[in-house]
Amino acid sequence: MSSTSSPDPYSAFLPYPETPVAHAASGPLAGLRLGVKDLFDVTGYPTGCGHPLKLEQSAVATESAPPVQALLDAGMAFAGKTHLDELAYSTNGVNHHYGAPVNANAPGRVTGGSSSGSAAAVAASLVDVGLGSDTGGSVRLPASYCGLFGIRPSHGAVSLERAMPLAPSFDTVGWLTQSAALLRKVGDVLLPPDAAGCGLARLLVADDAFRLLDDAVRAAFAPALDRVRAHFQGIEAAALFPEDTADRRPVFRAAQGHEAWQAHGDWITRYQPTMGPDVAGRFRLGSAVSREDYAAANEARRTIRAFLDSLLGADGIVLLPATVTPAPARDSSGPALEDVRSRVQQLLCVASLTGHPQISMPAARFEDAPIGLSIIGPRGSDRALLRWAERLSEIL
């Protein structure tokens, strides 16, 4: 799929000239195909980061990013580099320069982003695994919109060397698959052993997170939740948004925005690149976040993290919606897309702020489009959480 001669009706891949990438002949993932978000280096390819000027300035990589190499060493075959939102700074799945990939499971709707091409490629069965990154929801939201499984691991669990940063204290490697079993098998290759004492046993339901949904969307989730409650004994209700920190979005936007400007502000100032108005606006806001505001945001993050650590303990899992709506229509206006992005950010920013692992799983359909549920576990419980996702997938 990396070749310009290969058909790509889903606009999932960058049209790079095909360059062979070596992979192991055997291994736990042998025979499977890998799509790689174009912010990771892959030997023999440039790294465009969702922007044509970045692509123009990029050298051809002489070494693949560690998670890419690990998957190649596990036997996966490289299928191509996939599209992403501009500089990975959006969850809408629409790139000002390259357009929007096609969502095979909801063709009239966006894929979500910023791992848009990776999600599109997996949903269309062009690859088995889509490697992405997740800063503010860039794997979890496309997973929900496209009816896939997707994981944001514990912050720092997987190396981001030779990958474009956006906001380093939020950035994580993530991946998307069509099954929970394969999501776990990729984790077996990429993830370190779980922290000691991560015996996940308590399932909590974040009732207040479900109250953020419109009544009709909440009703669409009801059959899946009923199946979960019928299967597991002793499920507890939990409040994920205590009143003193109910809306975490201002904290997230300040901290992420400041770090994004630190990562890309010099390049933007020097080259004045053409950007989509939404992405340009986010960088503009980030440039205005003072060091004092950033420090205050990080102090608030510590409070939020401590709350979630206390809620989960060493053995808890909290179940919540992955999104507030199905994917918006492809022809939605910019303001409409931003409204959905803002609403869903209330759910997505929790794990981003705290560094906890979160997995999105297909659970229902609404208006003939997929919507997902998700689970958050203690920091360092990634492998155990993946096993729980397999258990839940059999119920959902």
Are residue 51 and residue 165 in the same domain, yes or no? yes
Yes or no: say if 305 and 352 are a contact pair by the CB < 8 Å rule.
no
Task: Give 374's strand partners.
Answer: 320, 360
Indicate if 260 and 171 belong to the same structural domain. no
> Residue 198: its pLDDT value, please?
81
Q: What is the pLDDT of residues 295-352, one digit of tens each?
A: 999 999 999 999 999 999 999 999 999 999 999 999 999 899 989 999 999 999 999 9
The alpha carbon dihedral of 34, 181, 358, 313 has a sign of negative
pTM over 0.95: yes
- Over residues 80-96, the pLDDT tens digits come to 999 999 999 999 999 99
For residues 165 and 229, state if they share a domain. Answer: no
Residues 254 and 169 in one domain: no
Q: Are 337 and 388 members of one domain? A: yes
- Residues 234 and 374 both lie in one domain: yes
Please answer whether residues 37 and 131 qualify as being in contact, where contact means their C-beta atoms are separated by less than 8 angstroms. yes
Look at residue 252 in the predicted model and tell me its pLDDT: 97
pLDDT per residue rounded down to tens, the chain (396 residues): 444 345 789 999 999 999 999 999 999 999 999 999 999 999 999 999 999 999 999 999 999 999 999 999 999 999 999 999 999 999 999 999 999 999 999 999 999 999 999 999 999 999 999 999 999 999 999 999 999 999 999 999 999 999 999 999 999 999 999 999 999 999 999 999 999 878 899 999 999 999 999 999 999 999 999 999 999 988 999 999 987 667 899 999 999 999 999 999 999 999 999 999 999 999 999 999 999 999 999 999 999 999 999 999 999 999 999 999 999 999 999 899 989 999 999 999 999 999 999 999 999 999 999 999 999 999 999 999 999 999 999 999
Kindly report the CATH number assigned to the domain that includes residue 96.
3.90.1300.10
Residue 82 lies in a domain: yes
Residues 77 and 137 in one domain: yes
In this structure, the answer to whether residues 140 and 98 fall within a common structural domain is: yes
15 falls within a domain: no
Task: Please tell me the predicted confidence (pLDDT) of residue 234.
Answer: 85
Closest CA relative to residue 141, chosen from 168, 103, 108: 103
Q: Which one of the listed residues 37, 54, 81, 185 is annotated catalytic? A: 37
C-alpha radius of gyration, the chain, whole number: 19
Question: Is residue 346 domain-resident?
Answer: yes
> Is 351 part of any domain?
yes
- What pLDDT, on a 0 to 100 scale, did the predictor assign at position 3? 41
In a domain, 7, yes or no: no
Active-site residue, selected from the candidate residues 114, 115, 118, 381 = 114
Task: Say if residue 147 is in the same domain as residue 91.
Answer: yes
The answer to whether residue 279 is domain-embedded is yes
Structural domain total, the chain = 2
CA angle, residues 238, 362, 41, in degrees to nearest 5: 105
Domain boundary among 190, 210, 226: 190
114 catalytically annotated: yes
By residue range, what is the domain housing residue 54? 33-190
Residue 122 in any domain: the answer is yes
Out of 139, 159, 190, pick the residue that ends a domain: 190
Please tell me the predicted confidence (pLDDT) of residue 4: 39
List all residues 6 or more positions away from 276 whose beta carbon is below 8 Å from its beta carbon.
86, 90, 94, 95, 96, 97
Same domain, 113 and 216: no
Residues 214 and 151 occupy one common structural domain: no
Same domain, 251 and 371: yes
Domain boundary among 190, 214, 243: 190
Q: Are the beta carbons of 190 and 173 closer than 8 angstroms? A: yes
Tally of helices (H runs) and strands (E runs) in the chain: 12, 10
